[in-house]
Amino acid sequence: MRRIRTHMVGVEQGSTILFSDFEHDGEMWTGDGARQLVTPVEFSDRFLRPPSVHVSVSMWDLDKRTNARADIAADEITETGFQIVFRTWGDTRVARMRVDWIAMGEVANDEDWDV
């Protein structure tokens, strides 16, 4: 469990369209085998320490003729941002993917003293 030691908790959330590969025959739509996409996200303000980040699929558009395989994660989390990592494999054909995310952690307080 993460314990936040300050009364200043920052919460930031967002929605990111990772790709829309069916529009231009991109790799997620036409490829085969292991595929990965890394998308950087920057926070609007800095956290004091790397926050807790949760990502979830908010929209997916998959070909019904193939197996639905997907792995999504937050990686490389820092005080200023993180990476969304999307993976698929086998014959899965992904047309589009949107991810929602939320970050929670300690933020600076204007009244904190730095002595």
112 part of a folded domain: no
pLDDT of residue 98: 96
Count how many domains the chain has. Answer: 1
Whichever domain contains 21, its CATH number is: 2.60.40.2080
113 part of a folded domain: no
The span from the CA of 13 to the CA of 45, in Å, is: 12
For residue 102, the enclosing domain spans: 9-106
The span from the CA of 28 to the CA of 96, in Å, is: 8
- Say if residue 21's pLDDT is above 90: no
96 part of a folded domain: yes
CB 3 within 8 A of CB 80: no
27 part of a folded domain: yes
Q: Write the pLDDT tens digit of every residue in 37-79.
A: 999 999 999 999 999 999 999 999 999 999 899 999 999 999 9
> Which tokens go with 22?
């069916």
